[in-house]
Structure 1
Amino acid sequence: MTLSGEEINLYLSGTEDLKTERFAFHNQACSILYLESFAKIELIQSLIVLPLLEDGIASLEAVSGILKSSDLSLIGQSLLDGYCAVLLENHPEAYMIAVPQSHGRSIDEPSAEQIIKGSHEGFVENLNTNIYLLRYRVKSPQFKVKYFSIGTLTNTKVAMVYMEKLADSNIVEECERRLKSINLTHLYSTGEVDEMIEEHPMSPFPQSLHTERTDRAVSYLLEGKINILVDGNPTVLILPITFFSFYQSPDDYNSRWITGSFFRFIRMISFILAISLPAIYIAIVSYHSEVLPPGILYSVKVSLTYVPFPPIVEALAMQIILELLKEASIRLPSPIAQTIGIVGGLVIGTAVVEAHLVSHTMIVVIGLTAIASFAAPLNEFGTSLRILGFPTMLAASLFGFFGISVMMMVIFIHLCKIETLGVPYFAPFGPFHGKDSMKDIFLRLPVWKTEQNAQKNGSRKQSFTLRWKRQ
């Protein structure tokens, strides 16, 4: 049975961007079908039309990557992937040749993750380009890619990338099983993949790391993690991940180890401040004012004299205003967003204090809390911290320091309980794995020291890095 262009057109719902070009060569009738939104006309002319007119059917067999099939669904899917179909009269199979049209943007620095030192290349929307960016940095035969098609309507191409001998085979199999189990009608982003495979959807903490930085993705790839890439999305999903990974930055390793360790320690402190600082202020003002020195206590009491609202109302109102300003600045164009952020913050902050709606001290506390939450290298994690600040403030308003202690205990118990792909989220503390596994958590060890530890543990069989140094 010979395929016809009408059958293919009917399979593609009669779409008007399906073009059919008919011509004859060497007494042979031929039809070329392609989607003008996906196919490049110049490639069709150079790879198909001119060779057919000169050498006939033999020229098609010489084209690299050519596919032959009589399956209507396979031909239709190939057209949607940027192929063109060549139908020959009285010939049962169609020839399919890749003639993709490129509409992708150029490789650029990711705007969501500012880079101080290191590579300024970020991922783009094209899946093949993103895999190239990874493979370009990891030129190893262990680099492995597995493809999946997710979405009954969109047929979105998803790639799972990992290092064959570095990644845990059980984790790879579990991740592959979860990806195959996804049953959606459409898939647009890595965020949807994340929601479908995460183990604890009700947890406020992100259980996978999203990044547009190629150096960050490569560093985790070489640690045995899995990278998940979605065609049409510049964000790479990294699994499995731990809590402490969200406070590590590639910039730490592009600076001297003392500098990197200092900033990493500052980020760890910011975790506690972002969750508990407003709650501590509420608890002190409401229940435990005796812990303050007399001078500071007098200043706080004076600022609260004409404020008609309890501290919990002040804190909730200012936190909500902060989130509103942040959302407004994100949605607006950059020049306007900067104006909104600076002028809006100053005007609102000054106005609410002068109107005696909020105390001076509360403005300082909320400002420090916002700065602490923004210290996390990834914005998603900082947002989670600000969300956790709300129940912590409520606990402090009801029970003072005791409420804060209970709330922090609940948070840390939750961190110790959850897992990602079978890996403890709060490792190496929950469960405790020993002092050797914590050496690169709070402090960024020198590269030569990390290599020396790896040799002792047998995880990498390489010579000691400082070979020039006399032993």
Structure 2
Amino acid sequence: MHNSGSGFSGQKRLLSSGKAEETVQYVKDAFFQADDLKMKQLIFNGKPAYIMYIDSIADRDQIQTNVLKPLLKTPEGKIEDLAAVTILKKTYELEQAVQAMLEGDCLFFTDGRKELCLLNVYKKDMESGQEPNNEKIIRGSHQSFSENVMKNIHFIRERIKSPALTVKFHSVGRTSRSKLAFVYVGKIANPALMEEIERRLSYLQVDSVQSPGYFEEFIEDCPFSPFPQILNTERPDRAAANLMDGRIAVLMEGSPTVLILPATFFSFFQSSEDYNMRTVLGSFFRLIRVISFIIALILPAFYIALVSFNYEVIPVEIVFSIKNSLEFVPFQPVLEAMIMQLTLELLREAAIRLPNAISQTIGVVGGLVIGTAVVDAHLVSNTMIIVVAITAISSFVIPSNEMSNTIRILGFPIMLMSALFGFFGIVISMMLILVHLVKLQPFGSPYLYPLAPFNTKFFKDTVLRFPVWMMNERPEDAKPVYLWKESRSRGWKRNE
């Protein structure tokens, strides 16, 4: 079961014993044997000496040029006289040394001496990343991941300055040997989850893995499900927030997209901007996204059921308007809806493939010209144009492109069911989708959590967003080692 404490406080400050082997082992254990923890060994003043640093934070070229070369050239003397660095600090505390390494220092020590030297070699020329293309926000960070996996790890380490942040490297593809990095917080993430991912990875037999999408298909539980089971993000702040909830991030060389797993249904409706605005506004916009999901999924089918089976549900004033618009249309409502939805998909795909300057013209002019022409030619009714437009706008509201694509696919079979059975067909379709969602358990985590299994305690960050200081527990779907967060309240009262 989960521990009730946070596990991040109350540690005693440890002093260096002077034994190099003990210092090396302590630093390795403090960083949970992270693969980006590097070590160099040399002889200095006639004794074994060691240089340890975090490869994703420290500048390897500075270490080679300003630290390692001078010490190899002059193997005797004082480190402060030989190393060409601007900042050099000394300490006897191992914990302080570990924290300094997270700030970009490299650790130098020799066997038999308790003194630890910290040399600042931080990567100052690290690119900040461009504006995210698919997850743009108004207020908050505008940094995105790059295509360099070490830079991406650097961005995450900048946000989570904890030695518990663990990095494990793997190579996939017999021919391509593509580089993967698994990043998680060792004190929070469930070890069984990482073991399960590595177990599935061990069965992977393929010549080449060129993108995260390849890797995603090999390890996900239900590859034929239309619903995404792994969250994709371009934002370091979003990845860091998920890591602090006990999830695991998968980074791949050559891709600016990071995979977050396990993912739940409601995580695809969350945006980084929700936490940068007031609680009421964040909850309102998140509720709008869930409503837009339902609208985009069933609105065309709902319209087909109304005009084909259940005219009596429509108010009398609107009946005549709809009847007049359908009077000269030669197609059935379902065929009418299919034509317009397919046309919309063609316009959308064309806008994606073309350059930005032309794609905007295609989207606006194509939509206006085709929409006006088909209505004037009495091929499609005015009402159907409105329904399709609202459906398209609703699908764009959802912040996840994967979930938006899922709605576009599922809309077609729901329209067919509606054309065959009316409202009963919509209900059957939604029941089948709901059963499928309840049965989905990516990496052993319930996909509809906390709705199924039902748990009111964790509804604080689903359809609605409670104040951050009230969300004092991590989501249980990832089965984190430590369920409670360190900050459980604001810690002050009004008029106190």
| TM more than 0.5 | yes
- Counterpart Cα distance in 2 of 1:105 and 1:150: 27
Q: Given that residues 452 and 464 in structure 1 are in contact (C-alpha distance below 8 angstroms), is that contact kept between their aligned partners in structure 2? A: no
User: 1:436 maps to what in 2?
Assistant: 457
User: 2:15 maps to what in 1?
Assistant: none
User: 2:367 maps to what in 1?
Assistant: 345
AA aligned opposite 2:194: V
- Counterpart Cα distance in 1 of 2:472 and 2:351: 44
Q: Which runs of 5+ in 1 are unaligned?
A: 1-42, 57-61, 64-103
1:458 and 1:347, CA in 2 relative to 1: closer, same or farther beyond 3 A?
closer
Match of 1:424, SS state, is coil
1:55 and 1:253, CA in 2 relative to 1: closer, same or farther beyond 3 A?
closer
Q: Which runs of 5+ in 2 are unaligned?
A: 1-60, 75-81, 84-125, 476-481
Question: 1:463: Cα distance to partner?
Answer: 5.5
How does 1:353-392 map onto structure 2 within 5 Å?
353-392=375-414
Question: 1:412: Cα distance to partner?
Answer: 0.5
Question: 1:469: Cα distance to partner?
Answer: 3.6
1:255 and 1:462, CA in 2 relative to 1: closer, same or farther beyond 3 A?
closer
1:165 and 1:268, CA in 2 relative to 1: closer, same or farther beyond 3 A?
same
User: 1:399 maps to what in 2?
Assistant: 421
Note the alpha carbon deviations across 1:69-101, whole angstroms, 9 max, x for none: xxxxxxxxxxxxxxxxxxxxxxxxxxxxxxxxx
User: 1:158 maps to what in 2?
Assistant: 180
How does 1:25-40 map onto structure 2 within 5 Å?
none
Residue 194 of structure 1: which of 216, 226, 240 is its match?
216
1:265 aligns with 2:287: yes
- Counterpart Cα distance in 2 of 1:147 and 1:362: 52
1:462 aligns with 2:484: no
Question: 1:468: Cα distance to partner?
Answer: 5.6
- Counterpart Cα distance in 1 of 2:296 and 2:185: 36
Residue 412 of structure 1: which of 409, 417, 434 is its match?
434
- Counterpart Cα distance in 1 of 2:73 and 2:486: 56
Residue 250 of structure 2: which of 209, 228, 247 is its match?
228
* TM-score with structure 1 setting the length: 0.76
Question: 1:452: Cα distance to partner?
Answer: 8.3
- Counterpart Cα distance in 2 of 1:440 and 1:241: 14
- Counterpart Cα distance in 2 of 1:329 and 1:266: 26
Match of 1:451, SS state, is coil
> What do you get for the CA RMSD once the two structures are aligned?
2.6
- Counterpart Cα distance in 2 of 1:105 and 1:349: 45
1:170 and 1:322, CA in 2 relative to 1: closer, same or farther beyond 3 A?
same
1:365 and 1:463, CA in 2 relative to 1: closer, same or farther beyond 3 A?
closer
User: 1:183 maps to what in 2?
Assistant: 205
- Counterpart Cα distance in 1 of 2:179 and 2:289: 36
1:447 aligns with 2:472: no
Question: 1:105: Cα distance to partner?
Answer: 7.5
AA aligned opposite 1:398: L
Question: 1:165: Cα distance to partner?
Answer: 1.8
Question: Percent of counterpart pairs with the same letter?
Answer: 50
Q: Given that residues 209 and 239 in structure 1 are in contact (C-alpha distance below 8 angstroms), is that contact kept between their aligned partners in structure 2? A: yes
Q: Given that residues 473 and 485 in structure 2 are in contact (C-alpha distance below 8 angstroms), is that contact kept between their aligned partners in structure 1? A: no
Note the alpha carbon deviations across 1:45-79, whole angstroms, 9 max, x for none: x97xxx89x979xxxxx99xxxxxxxxxxxxxxxx
Q: Given that residues 230 and 261 in structure 2 are in contact (C-alpha distance below 8 angstroms), is that contact kept between their aligned partners in structure 1? A: yes
AA aligned opposite 2:385: I
- Counterpart Cα distance in 2 of 1:195 and 1:351: 42
How does 1:41-440 map onto structure 2 within 5 Å?
107-432=129-454, 434-440=455-461
1:164 and 1:298, CA in 2 relative to 1: closer, same or farther beyond 3 A?
same
The range that moved more, 165-174 or 360-369, is 165-174
Match of 2:138, SS state, is coil
Question: 1:173: Cα distance to partner?
Answer: 1.2
Question: 1:470: Cα distance to partner?
Answer: 4.9
1:331 and 1:422, CA in 2 relative to 1: closer, same or farther beyond 3 A?
same
Match of 1:405, SS state, is helix
- Counterpart Cα distance in 2 of 1:364 and 1:383: 21
Note the alpha carbon deviations across 1:176-211, whole angstroms, 9 max, x for none: 222232221111111111000010011000100111
Q: Given that residues 241 and 420 in structure 1 are in contact (C-alpha distance below 8 angstroms), is that contact kept between their aligned partners in structure 2? A: yes
AA aligned opposite 2:207: T
* TM-score with structure 2 setting the length: 0.73
- Counterpart Cα distance in 2 of 1:220 and 1:470: 35
Question: 1:442: Cα distance to partner?
Answer: 1.4
- Counterpart Cα distance in 1 of 2:362 and 2:473: 51
1:188 and 1:354, CA in 2 relative to 1: closer, same or farther beyond 3 A?
same
- Counterpart Cα distance in 2 of 1:175 and 1:465: 37
Structure 1 segments, 4+ long, off by >4 Å, are none
Note the alpha carbon deviations across 1:256-312, whole angstroms, 9 max, x for none: 011000000011111111110000000000000100001111100100000000001
User: 1:76 maps to what in 2?
Assistant: none
- Counterpart Cα distance in 2 of 1:354 and 1:173: 61
Q: Given that residues 302 and 426 in structure 2 are in contact (C-alpha distance below 8 angstroms), is that contact kept between their aligned partners in structure 1? A: yes
Q: Given that residues 395 and 407 in structure 1 are in contact (C-alpha distance below 8 angstroms), is that contact kept between their aligned partners in structure 2? A: yes
AA aligned opposite 2:492: R
Q: Which has the higher contact order (CA 8 A, sep 6+)?
A: 2
Match of 1:110, SS state, is coil
1:470 and 1:167, CA in 2 relative to 1: closer, same or farther beyond 3 A?
farther
Match of 1:448, SS state, is helix
Q: Given that residues 225 and 238 in structure 1 are in contact (C-alpha distance below 8 angstroms), is that contact kept between their aligned partners in structure 2? A: yes
Match of 2:471, SS state, is helix
Question: 1:464: Cα distance to partner?
Answer: 2.5
Q: Given that residues 448 and 466 in structure 1 are in contact (C-alpha distance below 8 angstroms), is that contact kept between their aligned partners in structure 2? A: no
User: 2:104 maps to what in 1?
Assistant: none
The range that moved more, 239-248 or 161-170, is 161-170
- Counterpart Cα distance in 2 of 1:144 and 1:185: 28
AA aligned opposite 1:121: Q
1:236 and 1:301, CA in 2 relative to 1: closer, same or farther beyond 3 A?
same
AA aligned opposite 1:312: V
Note the alpha carbon deviations across 1:84-125, whole angstroms, 9 max, x for none: xxxxxxxxxxxxxxxxxxxx9861111122122111110000
- Counterpart Cα distance in 1 of 2:282 and 2:488: 25
Q: Given that residues 451 and 465 in structure 1 are in contact (C-alpha distance below 8 angstroms), is that contact kept between their aligned partners in structure 2? A: no
- Counterpart Cα distance in 2 of 1:240 and 1:176: 14
